[in-house]
């Protein structure tokens, strides 16, 4: 596995806060869960309507998804299995070369 399988269970989730209250809640939970922000580049940019993509570990994803469902914040799982996506990025030829 690429990168020693370190991305197994990781997900990339898209969040779109519908209000400033939701944005504040997202900022707080993102900080707590130490998400990797894919876009925007800084959590300070997140406000109402901001398309926010975060990468979370397996454990963090359970907590985050539960939080989003509880607070009814709109979300979509962009990448369900990040390890698979990392491996699919490269062709078989490139993977062989990397190994």
Partner 1 sequence: SLSEYNYEVYHSLEDIQSWMHYLNQTQPSLVQVFSIGRSFEGRPLLIIQLGRKSQVYKRAVWIDCGIHAREWIGPAFCQWFVKEAILTYKTDPAMRKMLNHLYFYIMPVLNVDGYHFSWTHDRFWRKTRSRNSKFRCRGVDANRNWKVKWCDEGASADPCDDTYCGPFPESEPEVKAVANFLRKHRKRIRAYLSFHAYAQMLLYPYSYKHATIPNFSCVEFAAHKAVKALRSVHGIRYRHGPASQTLYVSSGNSMDWAYKNGIPYSFAFELRDTGYFGFLLPEMLIKPTCTETMLAVKNITMHLLKNCP
- DSSP category for residue 28: H
Q: N- to C-terminal Cα distance for the chain?
A: 9
Side-by-side strand order, sheet with 36-39: 36-39, 52-56, 11-15, 75-79
Find the binding residues for partner 1 in span 48-87 (CB under 8 A): 51, 53, 55, 78-79, 85-86
Question: Stretches 16-24, 63-71, 88-96: which one binds partner 1 (CB under 8 A)?
Answer: 88-96
Dump strand ranges (E) for 2-92: 11-15, 36-39, 52-56, 75-79
Is there binding between residue 44 and partner 1 (CB under 8 A)?
Answer: yes
Q: How many residues bind partner 1 (CB under 8 A)?
A: 28
Contacts with partner 1 by CB under 8 A lie at: 2-3, 7, 12, 14, 36-42, 44-45, 51, 53, 55, 78-79, 85-86, 88-91, 93-94, 98
């Amino acid at each position: 596995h690429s990168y020693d399988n370190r991305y197994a269970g990781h997900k990339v989730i898209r969040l779109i806060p519908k209000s400033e209250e939701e944005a504040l809640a997202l900022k707080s939970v993102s900080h707590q869960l130490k998400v990797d922000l894919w876009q925007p580049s800084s959590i300070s940019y997140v406000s109402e309507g901001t398309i926010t993509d975060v990468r979370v570990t397996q454990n963090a994803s359970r907590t985050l998804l539960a939080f989003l469902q509880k607070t009814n914040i709109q979300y979509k799982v962009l990448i369900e299995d990040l390890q698979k996506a990392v491996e699919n990025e490269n062709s078989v030829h490139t993977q062989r070369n990397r190994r």
